[in-house]
């Protein structure tokens, strides 16, 4: 069990190196695709820096892969409210991300008041609160307050969506 | 001199009722987020960027200044009462501070921290007011090659010196530079890394990037690792100090200030090294060595002063050169950009009133913090009992709201989530976030200076070395890069000698 | 048989524990000490820390009382944890500490002890701190 777990953990960090490599290649291909006539006023051109960046990314990807395979390990970030003794709690994170995605999908159509309510209520729920009604009321109040606050205070009209005309 | 009258004008601006109100809001908010777990000044300023877009820049920066200093105060309160320092700069404070609190001297520990922070912050801000214009005078004479070199130095210093793994620091920096590339190239109008997506043409909004990395990434990361067993906060009354505490505190305060300011002003100084040095010094100089490790007041007074003086020091390169060296300064620099204000040495001449009002408000904020914090410490401690679901749901809610309100595009929220996931991943695998943010902010400016330099030299790379300052800076850069090697050689030759700073030895271990 | 005591590190909690020990001695029952937290905040001063629990452990062992100490952190409130424990163990008695509250305080806060008193299936002994 533990050897499998450590093996998986090692492999997970290789994902970082993979990401760096992929981004590096993307940056390289993108820069390579730029067509620029040489100009006296701009000898460096728009390609040079992307090439350097992609080089740095790929070098980091390779070195990181070597480092990880040789047993190197990134130190996970601690904090006041962080307990690294137990593994990542996906049962909290995934529903949180779900509430977030729901908000992204709904915001333009249903409007901020509805999508924001879902976002806050869903997040509070995902984080373990079980006072459904009180949380719901807080969510609605918060979305309404921010909607009017942004409109009246900052002059930013958040989308009203389905509630257009009511708000 | 000139500084004096400018500063007085600054006070006149900062003391208008409206701006004073923003200063009060700033210090209250700053202390609150400093106390609250999982929130920090950098995240708070990032979350406020969109909201403050409608404000006068001066008022916004006065508020940010309050948040910046307030965060330090709040951080020391929790490290003394809880022994779980939220930020690396208050780790040292917790060593003696928490021991004092456990021994029933929480009130004195909080008092020496607060008064020491006030004194160090005030002296530090005065030094900032004196030195920043001098740095500017020196800096305006520099050309593009020197700027290019200095910015490279700042990037490399933060990447290579801070954090435990240089390799992971560079990986983070490279990602940041890549994010900074997205959008239209300002010289040729070419689209870079937009993948045919018209919404990417204007580049990634720095507000969205900062909110994603500091707020969304952090909230998700903390949510995945919530502390399961609740802690106790040590009950405390109103902070106060006796005569003996005063006489034991004032020298450490001044020495801590002397350590903190210069380190903060250096490109990669940060607050960790000076707080540590201050602690070691106080331990050596104290007349009560038996108390160290059991709650010596000098061990709280010195590091806390160093911490706050470093915070003031950090603002020197930020305001004078446009070089941020910690997360909050980086986000404040992003705020300048989003107001359309060009940071750099020209800031003092182009935005003189704003800069001086900001500096004046640092003095005011410091004073307000002392006034507010001494009586309110027990109230702040209560904040720690806030239920987490509301705290982290609130961060996500306001992050979304802020990022969306910048352009009113749901697409920005997709970016927010993607970069938030990146921030999560970086925290999981020990990639520091500061180099990434600096890469995003400084990357485009570095590219600009590079192209200007080579334009002047008609494409000859020798142009990069055409100014003496540039050459000096490159030598420093080379030294920083070669440091682990030198370090190893020294260690090999003198194996008996222990490294000065245990915190730095990790950097050498990881780099090969 | 079992006696359940809801413990918090306050004078009321101590009073309840002392009373529960006396009861357990009298009837030679197992004492189940419940000290719970919802665990939804960084700080909860009603959740006993390690040294505190250790001293209770010693105290109970010294007096020769069969005991179990539980510190559930599952997001439930203290009343639910105590009632659950009583149900599961078929408790014959629940001992709790009462806090003096002003009428306004009662109105705003609701009350853990009130819920236990109303919902318990076995006798509840409520004690005050002296």
For C120, the token pair is: 């318990």
pLDDT at site B338:
84
Nearest CA-CA partner of B174 in A60, A68, A76: A60
- Domain C2-128, CATH number (from 1.20.1250.20, 3.40.50.620, 3.30.70.260, 3.40.50.300): 3.40.50.620
Which phi and psi angles does C67 have, rounded to 5°?
-150, 155
A 3-62 residues with CB < 8 A to C: none
Buried-exposed string B242-267: b where 16+ CB fall within 10 A, e elsewhere: eeebeebbbebbbbbbbbbbbbbbbb
Tokens 């952190």: give the residue: C73
- Please name the residue of chain A whose CA is at the shortest distance from the CA of residue B410: A104
Contact B38 A79 (CB under 8 A): yes
- With an 8 Å Cβ cutoff, is A89 touching chain C? no
Taking CB atoms and an 8 Å cutoff, what residues of chain B touch A111?
none
B232 to C47: CB separation less than 8 angstroms, yes or no: yes
Mutate to test the interface with C, among A81, A130, A132 (most CBs of C within 10 A): A130
Confidence of residue C104 (pLDDT cuts 50, 70, 90): low
Tokens 């490290």 — which residue? B79
Query: Tokens 């007074």 map to which residue?
Result: B301
| Distance from the Cα of residue A126 to its chain's centroid | 17
Question: Do the chains contact at A80 and C40, CB–CB below 8 Å?
Answer: no
The 8-class DSSP code of residue A163 comes to G
Residue B109: both structure tokens together = 């520990």
Q: What is the DSSP letter of B104?
A: I
Position B223 in a domain: yes
Give the whole-angstrom CA distance, residue A1 versus residue A3: 6
Evaluate if residue A83 carries a pLDDT over 70.
Answer: yes
CA-wise closest residue to A161 among A107, A118, A122: A107
Cα–Cα distance for residue pair A46/A26, rounded to 1 Å: 15
Put simply, the answer to whether B396 touches A123 (Cβ < 8 Å) is: yes
Q: Enumerate residues 430 to 459 of chain B having a beta carbon within 8 A of any beta carbon in chain A.
A: 430-431, 443, 447, 450-451, 454-455, 458-459
| Lowest model confidence (mean pLDDT) among A44-48, A140-144, B478-482, B508-512 | B508-512
> Worst-scoring range by mean pLDDT, A51-55, A151-155, B217-221, B449-453?
A151-155
Chains that touch C (3 or more CB pairs under 8 A): A, B
In angstroms, rounded to a whole number, what is the distance separating the alpha carbons of residues A42 and B189? 12
Return the residue in B232, B233, B384, B387 with the most chain C beta carbons within 10 A, the one to mutate for interface testing. Answer: B232
B127 contacts B449 by C-beta, under 8 angstroms? no
What average pLDDT does range C110-116 have in this prediction? Answer: 79
DSSP reduced 3-state for B370? helix
ipTM, two decimals, is 0.91
Nearest-Cα distance to chain C for B446, in Å, is 42
- State which residues form the domain around B164: 3-491
Which stretches of chain B score pLDDT less than 50?
1, 496-512
CA angle B38-B259-B313, nearest 5°?
A: 60
Residue B303 lies in a domain: yes
How far, in whole angstroms, is CA A42 from its chain's centroid?
Answer: 36
Write out chain C residues lying below 8 Å of A83, CB-based.
none
For the record, the structure tokens of B324 come out as 């941020």
Interface of B with C in 221-240 (CB under 8 A): 227-233, 235
Which chains touch B (3+ CB pairs under 8 A)? A, C
Q: CA-CA distances (angstroms) from residue B483 to B75, B160, B363?
A: 32, 9, 38
- A70 touching chain C per CB within 8 A: no
> Is pTM, for the whole model, over 0.95?
no
Q: Report the pLDDT averaged over residues A128-135.
A: 86
Could you tell me the pLDDT band of residue A63, with boundaries at 50, 70 and 90? very high
- Inform me whether the C-beta atom of residue B190 falls under 8 Å from chain C C-beta atoms: no
Distance CA A102, CA C9 (A): 43
Determine the distance in angstroms separating the CA of B48 from the nearest CA of chain A, rounded to an integer.
12
- Interface mutation vs chain A, best among C44, C74, C75, C79, most A CBs within 10 Å: C75
pLDDT (mean) for A146-164 = 87
Query: How many angstroms away from the CA of B33 is the closest CA of chain C?
Result: 14
How many other CB atoms are there within 10 angstroms of residue C109's CB atom? 11
B499 inside domain: no
Q: Is residue B502 part of a domain?
A: no
User: Is the CB of residue A38 less than 8 Å from the CB of residue A96?
Assistant: no
Helices (H), B213-297: 217-224, 243-265, 272-285
Chosen for mutation from C13, C38, C43 (greatest number of chain B CBs closer than 10 Å) is C43
Structure tokens at B382: 């209560």
Give the Cα separation of B367 and B486 in Å (integer): 45
The burial class, CB within 10 Å (0-12 / 13-18 / 19+), for B47 is: buried
Structural domain count, chain B: 1
Q: Is the pLDDT of residue C109 over 60?
A: no
pLDDT of A89 over the 80 cut? yes
Q: Which residue has the tokens 């100009």?
A: A39
CA distance C76 to chain A (A): 9
Q: Among A152-161, B63-72, B227-236, C45-54, which range has the highest average pLDDT?
A: B63-72
Phi, psi of C100, rounded to the nearest 5 degrees? -70, 130
Handedness of CA B52, B58, B59, B63 (dihedral sign): positive
């Amino acid at each position: 069990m533990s050897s499998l777990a450590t093996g998986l953990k090692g492999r997970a960090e290789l994902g970082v190196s993979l990401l760096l490599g992929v981004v590096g290649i993307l940056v390289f291909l993108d820069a390579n695709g730029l067509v620029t006539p040489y100009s006296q006023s701009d000898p460096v051109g728009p390609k040079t820096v992307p090439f350097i960046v992609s080089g740095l990314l790929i070098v980091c990807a390779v070195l990181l892969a070597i480092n990880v395979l040789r047993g190197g390990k990134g130190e996970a970030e601690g904090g006041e409210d962080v307990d690294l003794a137990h593994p990542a709690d996906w049962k909290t994170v995934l529903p949180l991300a779900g509430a977030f995605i729901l908000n992204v999908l709904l915001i333009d159509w249903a409007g901020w008041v509805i999508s924001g309510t879902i976002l806050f209520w869903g997040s509070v729920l995902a984080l373990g609160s079980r006072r459904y009604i009180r949380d719901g009321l807080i969510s609605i109040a918060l979305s309404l307050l921010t909607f009017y606050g942004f409109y009246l205070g900052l002059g930013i009209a958040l989308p009203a969506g389905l509630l257009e005309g009511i708000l | 001199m000139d500084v004096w009258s400018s500063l007085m004008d600054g006070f006149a601006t900062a003391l208008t009722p409206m701006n004073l109100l923003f200063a009060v809001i700033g210090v209250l908010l700053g202390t609150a987020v400093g106390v609250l777990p999982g929130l920090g000044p950098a995240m708070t300023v990032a979350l406020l960027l969109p909201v403050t877009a409608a404000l006068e820049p001066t008022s916004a920066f006065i508020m940010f200044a309050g948040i910046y200093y307030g965060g330090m105060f709040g951080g020391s309160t929790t490290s003394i009462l809880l022994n779980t320092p939220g930020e690396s700069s208050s780790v040292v404070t917790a060593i003696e501070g928490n021991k004092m609190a456990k021994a029933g001297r929480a009130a004195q520990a909080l008092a020496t921290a607060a008064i020491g922070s006030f004194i160090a912050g005030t002296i530090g801000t005065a030094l900032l007011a004196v030195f920043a214009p001098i740095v500017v005078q020196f800096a305006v004479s520099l050309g593009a090659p020197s700027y290019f070199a200095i910015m490279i130095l700042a990037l490399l210093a933060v990447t290579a010196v801070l954090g435990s793994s240089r390799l992971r620091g560079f990986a983070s920096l490279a990602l940041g530079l890549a994010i900074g590339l997205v959008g239209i190239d300002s010289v040729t109008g070419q689209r870079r890394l937009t993948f045919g997506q018209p919404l990417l043409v204007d580049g990634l909004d720095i507000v969205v990037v900062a909110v994603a990395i500091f707020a969304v990434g952090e909230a998700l990361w903390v949510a995945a690792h919530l502390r399961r067993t609740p802690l106790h906060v040590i009950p405390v009354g109103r902070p106060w100090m006796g005569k003996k505490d005063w006489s034991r505190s004032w020298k450490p305060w001044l020495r801590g200030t002397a350590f903190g300011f210069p380190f903060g002003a250096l490109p990669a100084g940060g607050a960790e090294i000076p707080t540590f040095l201050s602690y070691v010094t106080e331990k050596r100089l104290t007349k009560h060595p038996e108390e160290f490790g059991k709650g010596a007041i000098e061990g709280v007074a010195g590091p806390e002063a160093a911490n706050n003086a470093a915070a003031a020091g950090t603002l020197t390169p930020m305001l004078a050169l446009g070089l941020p060296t910690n997360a909050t300064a980086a986000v404040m620099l992003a705020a300048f950009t989003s107001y359309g204000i060009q940071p750099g040495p020209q800031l003092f001449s182009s935005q003189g009133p704003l800069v001086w009002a900001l500096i004046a408000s640092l003095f005011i904020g410091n004073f307000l913090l002392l006034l507010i914090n001494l009586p309110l410490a027990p109230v702040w401690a209560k904040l720690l009992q806030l239920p987490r679901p509301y705290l982290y749901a609130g961060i996500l809610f306001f992050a979304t709201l802020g990022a969306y309100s910048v352009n009113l595009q749901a697409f920005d929220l997709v970016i927010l989530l993607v970069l938030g996931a990146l921030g999560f991943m970086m925290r999981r695998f020990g990639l520091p976030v500061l180099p990434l943010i600096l890469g995003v902010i400084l990357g485009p400016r570095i590219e600009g200076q590079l192209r200007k330099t080579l334009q002047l030299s008609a494409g000859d790379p020798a142009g990069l070395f055409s100014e003496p300052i540039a050459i000096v800076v490159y030598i420093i850069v080379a030294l920083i890069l070669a440091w682990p090697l030198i370090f190893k050689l020294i260690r090999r030759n003198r194996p008996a000698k222990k490294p000065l700073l245990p915190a730095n030895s990790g950097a050498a271990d990881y780099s090969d | 048989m079992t006696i359940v005591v809801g413990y918090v590190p306050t004078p009321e909690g101590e009073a309840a524990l002392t009373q529960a020990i006396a009861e357990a001695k009298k009837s030679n029952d197992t004492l189940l000490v419940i000290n719970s937290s919802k665990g939804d905040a960084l700080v909860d001063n009603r959740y006993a820390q390690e040294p505190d629990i250790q001293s209770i452990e010693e105290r109970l062992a010294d007096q020769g009382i069969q005991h179990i100490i539980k510190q559930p952190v599952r997001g439930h409130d203290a009343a639910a944890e105590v009632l659950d424990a009583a149900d599961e163990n078929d408790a014959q008695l629940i001992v709790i500490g009462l806090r003096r509250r002003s009428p306004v305080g009662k109105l705003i806060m609701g009350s853990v002890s009130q819920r236990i008193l109303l919902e318990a299936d076995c006798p509840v002994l409520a004690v005050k701190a002296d």
